[in-house]
Structure formats: C-alpha cells, structure tokens
A and B are shown apart, each in its own frame.
Chain A
C-alpha cells in the first residue's frame, strides 16, 4: 500500500534562495499533521508544492502513489501538462490564509463552481452537496450571501466547505486563522476539529500552538527549509529534543 502522501527529498528555490532543502514526509489516511515553525522556514511553501501552486526543482511528491506535477520519462523529469496538473489538484483541497472566496458569487455558488465544472455534477446534485457542507460548517442559512456580506470567520468556513465538498483525499490548511480577528478564530478551529474527528486527512500549517497540540496526531517542526524535529504533540511540545524547537516554543504563545 502506498502512503496517502509521500514527500521525498523536496527541494525548492525562489531565485537564489533555497527555501526547501530536502524535505521528507509521509502521511497515512486519517492522519492530522500540523506543521509549525517560524516564518520563512518553508512550511507554507511545502504545502503549496503539494498542489503545485509552486513548481519545485527536486524530489517527488506522491498522493496515493500518484506522482504529483512531474513525471519521469526515460529518466527525464518532465512537468506534466496543465490539464493533468489541474486534475491532480482536485486530489487535495486547499484553504488559504486570505480565504480567497470568489467575491462575485454567493456562498453556495462558490462551492458548486468546482463541483459542476470539475466534478461534472448536475446542478441539483451540486447544490445538494454544497448545502450539506454549508450545513456542516453551520452556514446553511447564509447560502445566498456574498462573501462581502459575511464575517471573516464565516468566509473562512465557506472556504473550508468549498475545498472539502470536492471530496479531496487530503486537506491542506495554510495558516487559516492568521487573518482573522481573535474572536473569530475559534469558530474556524472548531470546524477543523470536527473534521479531524470524522477522520479527514489533514495537513495544517499553523501558528496556533494550543490547537496544534490538541488536534494533531503528529507535529512537524520546520527549521530553515528542513524538518527540524517531528513526533507526537505531547513529546514535541513538552519535551522538545532540539534546542531550536525549545527556543521556538518559548517565543511562541504556547504555555
């Protein structure tokens, strides 16, 4: 059985700056993994490579044994065609720091767009699916609202519903509470916790240490483009092995 997600020796540079210097990581179905680390450590970049929002120069990423973004032909590494990459992106669902809802569409239409155009669902079926997920995030009665008419927390919950309605194998969360007012953070974290309890496979980049501690099965600490330390949250947060992680935890809000 292949791992649900397998990253091997991932390398990525922006111009002269190498951001990822060989990252290895594997996840199984149902895993909830939080990635922590100071800004610039490469955690968001790693997440963005997984659904090819960033190209990468070295290493491989595979989801369910399927190599993402590139294929190897006669030992030549070749970027896949755009259409194929688009199809592979639907294997993962991504939630962004800035929500990125489509402002000209209602909450419902934000969710059905992908269902209709990518999953080729009929409209009634797409509407039913979208309503089911809006209900899950507690926003069914707001389905006709536009993003500009929703609070940040509500927008982010719609964005989660939009991603997860596509039935991805893996959900990616990129600092999804960083842009929210403090009093709106909890409603979003609660939705994520519920999804975790239901067995959704999730990889989360987060600055919410308490949340990472509570929700994750495993924590990855990124440091300067490499995995600095990883393990179960108890051991990581309470007895960090490396000096660097101990320092990071001391400076972050985890008490």
Chain B
C-alpha cells in the first residue's frame, strides 16, 4: 500500500477524523478547566483547611489518584446511572476526567503553596495584609509559577486519558479512528496517524507551557 492511497482514504474520512479531534479537544478542555478550578480549591483545603476539611480533601485526592482513570470513567457512566443520575457518555466522560484532573491539580497546588517559605507569609502579615490579601498578592503569584510546569503535564495527561472515553462510546479521536479502520482495514497507518495527532496536541500544549513559564519567570540577575 502506498502513501498516496493512504492520503486518498484519509481525505475521504476527513470529517469523522476532524470531528474526533474536535471532541478530544473539547472533552479535554472542559475537563482541564473544570478540574483545575476545583483543584485549586482542593489544594487550598489541603493546605489551609480546618482539620475535618483537610482530611476530606486528603481522602478525596488519595482515593482518586489511586484509582485508574478507566475505572473513574466507567464508574461515572454506569454507577451514577444506578443512583438515578444518568449522564450522557460525553457528560460522564468529562466528569470523570475533571475529577481526575482536580485531584492532581489539588496536589500540585498544595505542593506549590507549601514550597513557599514561611517568611513570605510572615512578611506579608507584618505589613498588615489580611490572609486573603496575602494569598492573592504574595502566595498565589509565587505558587502560580511553580504550578505552571506540573500543570502542563497534567493537561497532557488528560488529553491522553481522554482516549479512554472511547470505551463508553464517546466519538473522540481514538474511537473515530477505530471506526475508520473498521471500514478501511488500514489499521497500522491510521493508528500511526492518530498517534501523530495526539503528539501534535500535546506538543503544542507543552510549547505553550514553556512559553508561559518563560513569560512569568522572575529576573534573577
């Protein structure tokens, strides 16, 4: 089979593939945004929460991080249904990935906040800043710079984990590719093609992360 033939077929299946890319991007973006938002609060609870809240956040993150993403995906699709919360495959998939993302972001945020020397909080207190002011102007800007690289990793993990949604029938890039393969019997080139697309997505995320990291860097000398 030559390359020209592959590109011919690729052209004929461009719409399902493009739609797969779109679904992958949408699922990942929604999960990363929602997961990061929740994750910041999980991280705050882990760092500053009163004891019962901190334990709750700790149990949540450890439990989620100790569970395979596939199990989370299946659970949010099948188990939530049995307790009367029937989500569509798309919704269940986004929920599972967002939950997974939030536990990781929570840990990242906790780590970044705890890495800031205590003297920073004390200096902020000493000039009379309240806790929320200290957090917004002193801690978060410093933690944000620490978070950036790890957060980019998590975002890339989410994109990769989104392939698991093919199991519950979300027509993301992998499932779209598999459907194309079922019609064309060209498994090897199309799997390579899908792999290449995932690489492109994650590579751009990583470049974006590097760019942001550089932009935010504090001048040292």
Binding site for B on A (CB under 8 A): 51-53, 82-83, 86-87, 89-90, 92-94, 96, 98, 100-104, 113-114, 117-118, 145-146, 148-149, 159, 162-163, 166
Total contacting residues, chain B, CB less than 8 A: 23
Closest to B216 in A: A104
B52 within 8 A of A: no
B127 near A113: Cβ-Cβ < 8 Å: yes
B142 within 8 A of A: yes
B126 near A118: Cβ-Cβ < 8 Å: no
A89 to B145, alpha carbons, bound, how many Å? 29
A94 near B126: Cβ-Cβ < 8 Å: yes
A118 to B130, alpha carbons, bound, how many Å? 9
What are some 28 contacts across the A-B interface (CB < 8 A)?
A53-B125, A82-B130, A86-B125, A86-B128, A87-B128, A89-B128, A90-B127, A92-B126, A94-B122, A94-B126, A100-B117, A100-B119, A100-B120, A100-B123, A102-B123, A102-B142, A104-B142, A104-B145, A114-B128, A117-B129, A117-B137, A118-B129, A146-B220, A148-B218, A148-B221, A149-B220, A159-B123, A163-B127
B123 near A86: Cβ-Cβ < 8 Å: no
Choose one: B128, B218, B219; the contact of A90 (CB below 8 Å): B128
Contacts of B145 in A (CB 8 A): 104
A102 to B126, alpha carbons, bound, how many Å? 13
Q: List the 5 shortest-distance A-B pairs measured between CB atoms, nearest first.
A: A90-B128, A114-B127, A100-B123, A100-B119, A94-B126
Contacts of A118 in B (CB 8 A): 127-129, 133
Contacts of B15 in A (CB 8 A): none
Instruction: Give the total number of A-B pairs whose CB atoms are below 8 A apart.
Output: 81
Binding site for A on B (CB under 8 A): 117, 119-120, 122-131, 133, 137-138, 141-142, 145, 218-221
Nearest CB of B to A168, in Å:
9
SS of B interface (majority): helix
Closest to B130 in A: A86
B127 near A148: Cβ-Cβ < 8 Å: no
A145 to B124, alpha carbons, bound, how many Å? 20
Contacts of B138 in A (CB 8 A): 102, 113
A166 to B125, alpha carbons, bound, how many Å? 13
Contacts of A83 in B (CB 8 A): 130
Choose one: B119, B126, B129, B219; the contact of A163 (CB below 8 Å): B126
**Known A101-B123, A104-B218; 5 more pairs at CB < 8 Å:** A89-B128, A102-B120, A114-B128, A118-B133, A145-B219
Closest to A95 in B: B126
Contacts of A89 in B (CB 8 A): 125-128
Contacts of A52 in B (CB 8 A): 125
